[in-house]
A = this chain, B = another copy of it.
Amino acid sequence: MIPAPFLLYLGRSADALGIKTSRGLAVFRPEDCVGEFRHDDCPQTLGLPRLSMAEAAAAGARTLVLGIAGPGGKLATELVEDAAAALATGMNVAAGLHERLRDQPSLASLARERGLRLFDVRDPPSDLSVGKGYPRAGRRLLTVGTDCSVGKMYATLALTRGLRERGVRADFRATGQTGILIAGGGVPVDAVVADFISGAIEELAPARDDDGWDLIEGQGSLSHPSFAGVSLGLLHGAQPEALVLCHEPGRPHMRGLPGRALPNLAECLERNLEAAKLTSPRVRAVGICLNTSAMGKEAARRLLVRTEDQLGLPCTDPIAFGVEPIINRLLCSAPSALSMIASH
């Protein structure tokens, strides 16, 4: 486990989506976050005390979390320098980028000298197998999206809490760096070798027969030209009986791809259901989650109602309005025959 409390890194990130890992920890593990580190020209804040490395160490922070991400997961020079500064004050460093902290000789030797640790959260398990797609017992829900970073992890965490509040066994299954940092475990699915995408998810959410749910965090989007392969393998490996579609209204283009429009919600959901049927023939959609954090409350409410009417599914913003309608649909509609057959 990564030693808490954390100092959350924002660096110079000008992009609200770019700091989503730091923000995820601030939102879901606030008790473990002592402050944020940002350079003078950083327009972002999480509302935490702004601390220098030395101030954070003095305040008890045990790990600097480099909770920022750009496409491709590169480790920029400045990140390495800032990580070195954290080590110099006695903090461990954690990151979830494709490029590994331990592969930076300066950081590796500094950590060794100081007796500190480098945590590369995006390291996939080394002994994965290819997926098989055979029916397995258990109840699984997967969040899918119109795009990257539209709120799939938030929705999955909220749905997990929602089920637990109803007394239903439910486990969040993390597939991305932020989720893994929050949950303390999971599989960084976009970092596994391509052949093992679906196999990694079969291992993350294996057969279970305790009537509990696995709520699996989706990644990317079947409609995203950069990452659709990951999303499809995840969908097949998850073998979900229930899908929840996540979307952020008003986004001007697909994440990282100016000029590329977002897909239509109904079409996107249909594509996901169609593709999911390969391993989960009776998959059904149980709801839509909209991230309305950039909208006024009244406009958000109207949009939720309109979307619900259009798609014929419960539609909510899981953070602003809760997940009750989706939990109701999930628990009150019939489980798939597949899951019943597989579990008996």
Instruction: List the interface of chain A (C-beta within 8 A of B).
Output: 71-73, 98, 129-134, 189-195, 197-199, 222-223, 225-234, 236, 256-257, 259-260, 275, 278-279
Copies of this protein, total = 2
In the assembly, what is the distance between CA of A231 and CA of B72, in Å?
Answer: 20
Flag if A194 contacts B198 (CB, 8 Å): no
Instruction: State the Cβ distance, A310 to closest chain B Cβ, in Å.
Output: 22
Flag if B229 contacts A260 (CB, 8 Å): no
Instruction: State the Cβ distance, A30 to closest chain B Cβ, in Å.
Output: 29
Flag if A193 contacts B194 (CB, 8 Å): yes
Sample of 14 further A-B pairs with CB below 8 A, known A130-B227, A189-B194 = A72-B129, A72-B195, A131-B225, A131-B226, A134-B257, A134-B259, A194-B197, A197-B230, A199-B226, A225-B236, A225-B279, A229-B234, A230-B233, A232-B232
Flag if B191 contacts A229 (CB, 8 Å): no
In the assembly, what is the distance between CA of A228 and CA of B132, in Å?
Answer: 11
Flag if A230 contacts B72 (CB, 8 Å): no
Name A131's closest neighbour in chain B (CB-CB).
Answer: B226
Flag if B193 contacts A98 (CB, 8 Å): yes
- Give the secondary structure class of A's interface: loop
Name A234's closest neighbour in chain B (CB-CB).
Answer: B229
A-B CB contact pairs (8 Å), 23 listed: A72-B130, A72-B195, A73-B195, A130-B256, A132-B225, A132-B226, A132-B256, A189-B194, A191-B194, A194-B197, A194-B233, A195-B226, A195-B227, A197-B230, A223-B278, A225-B279, A228-B233, A228-B236, A229-B232, A229-B234, A229-B236, A230-B233, A232-B232
Closest 10 CB pairs of A and B: A133-B225, A229-B233, A190-B195, A197-B229, A229-B229, A130-B226, A232-B232, A229-B232, A194-B230, A131-B226
In the assembly, what is the distance between CA of A233 and CA of B226, in Å?
Answer: 8
Name A190's closest neighbour in chain B (CB-CB).
Answer: B195
Which residues of chain B come closer than 8 Å to A260, judged between CB atoms? 133
Name A133's closest neighbour in chain B (CB-CB).
Answer: B225
Flag if B191 contacts A230 (CB, 8 Å): no
In the assembly, what is the distance between CA of A280 and CA of B76, in Å?
Answer: 33
Instruction: State the Cβ distance, A174 to closest chain B Cβ, in Å.
Output: 16
Flag if B131 contacts A198 (CB, 8 Å): no
Contacts known (A225-B278, A278-B225); A195 close to B230, Cβ less than 8 A: yes
In the assembly, what is the distance between CA of A226 and CA of B257, in Å?
Answer: 29
Tell which of A71, A226, A233, A259 has the most Cβ of chain B within 10 Å: A226
Which residues of chain B come closer than 8 Å to A199, judged between CB atoms? 226
Which residues of chain B come closer than 8 Å to A232, judged between CB atoms? 222, 228-229, 232
Which residues of chain B come closer than 8 Å to A132, judged between CB atoms? 225-226, 256-257
